[in-house]
Amino acid sequence: DIKPCAEPLQAMAEVGLPLLVHGEVTDPDIDIFDREAVFIERHMRSLVKDYPNLKIVMEHITTAEAVNFVSEQGPNVAATITCQHLLYTRSAIFAKGLNPHKYCLPVLKTEQDRQALQDAVRSGNPKFFMGTDSAPHPRRRKQAACCSAGCFTMPLALELYATAFEQAGCLEHLEAFTSQHGANFYGLPRNTDTITLKRGVWKVPAAYPFGDDEVVPVNAGDEMHWQLASLKIE
C-alpha cells in the first residue's frame, strides 16, 4: 500500500527527486514470475496518474508488460535493464542442474520477455538505460541450501552488454544506453571518461577473490568475445 507515502511522493515530485523502484509485489499468493506485471497493474498505473510530475525509474525490468508500460508513459517514466535479463531466460537457472549463480530477483523470465527487452534496446528509446544490479554474494551464500538472490556481473558487465547488443543487432545503440540515456534522464552531465571495448576471445574466471571467500560471476568459465581495450580518464 503506497497511500501512506503520499506526502513524501508529492514532495519528491515538487523538488525533482526521482523515485527508483524495484517494481514487484511480494504477496505470497502471487506467482514469482507474475510479480512485476501485477505490480504495474496494482500500483504503477495509479502512481503515474496521481503524480504526473514525479520522475520514476522502474529498476531492472524483466517483462514484456514492463517494456510496454514504460514505452506508453510520458518522459518522466524510464527503466533500467540488466545484462543478465537481456541474455538469459529462466531456463538458464536449471540448465545442467540448478545454477544458483543465475538466480536473481527479479527472477529471469521467458524468452518472449527477453525478446521484448531486446526490442526495447534495439529501438534506441532513451527511456531505457543500463542498470547492472550486480550482486557480489560470496560463494558460501550462493552455493547453499537457501541461496542469496543476485547475479555477479560487475567485472564484465560492459562486455556482457556488448554481447547482448550484438545479439540484438544494435551495437550502434550501446554507447547511448550505457553512457547517455541515464545521465540525460537525471539531468546530469555526461561522463567525459571513455572506455573502449574490442573484439577478442577470453575465458571468464571461475571465481574472483572476495575477502576470506570468493565470488562467482554469472557466466563463470564461459568464452567471451568482447573485452576491455582501454580506459581513458579525463
Residues classed as catalytic: 133
**Burial of residue 62, with CB atoms counted within 10 A of its CB: 0-12 exposed, 13-18 middle, 19 or more buried:** buried
Determine the 3-state secondary structure of 97 from DSSP: coil
**Cα distance between residue 38 and residue 141, in whole Å:** 29
User: Cα separation of 90 and 137, whole Å?
Assistant: 20
Give φ, ψ of 222 to 5 degrees.
-75, 160
Pairing of strands 213-215, 77-81: unpaired
Query: What amino acid is encoded at 69 in this protein?
Result: F
Burial of 216 (0-12, 13-18, 19+ CB in 10 A): buried
